[in-house]
Amino acid sequence: ETGVTQSPTHLIKTRGQQVTLRCSSQSGHNTVSWYQQALGQGPQFIFQYYREEENGRGNFPPRFSGLQFPNYSSELNVNALELDDSALYLCASSLGGIGGYTFGSGTRLTVV
């Protein structure tokens, strides 16, 4: 079985720009979650998608948005980037949110 793959692995953006991060879920998984992991901290939940609909959101502003596609791959979009958005962004997939989550290696975003 394939794991969770994320692209790109590293990205540098300028404050105010927009960014799109991508995630391919593990085969058979229909739920995808996105997390932000700042340096020295645990991952923080951004939002979750189940069958192409958002079904949970953490304490992140609306400029963080997402999509899940029919093949269960997913995107995280961040508008109007701020310096504090610099972090490792993790994607995790699961089967209905049950049984544990499989994480990708993440995208390291640096905002300058």
Partner 1 sequence: AQSVSQHNHHVILSEAASLELGCNYSYGGTVNLFWYVQYPGQHLQLLLKYFSGDPLVKGIKGFEAEFIKSKFSFNLRKPSVQWSDTAEYFCAVTPSSGSARQLTFGSGTQLTVLP
Strand, coil or helix: what is 50?
strand
Strand, coil or helix: what is 99?
strand
CB of 76 to partner 1, least distance (A): 14
Strand, coil or helix: what is 39?
coil
Nearer to partner 1, 78 or 104 (CB): 104
Nearer to partner 1, 20 or 105 (CB): 105
Alpha-carbon dihedral of residues 89, 94, 98, 103, nearest 10 degrees?
Answer: -40
Nearer to partner 1, 81 or 91 (CB): 91
Residues that bind partner 1 (CB under 8 A): 4, 33, 35, 40-45, 48, 50, 55-56, 58, 90, 92, 97-98, 100-106
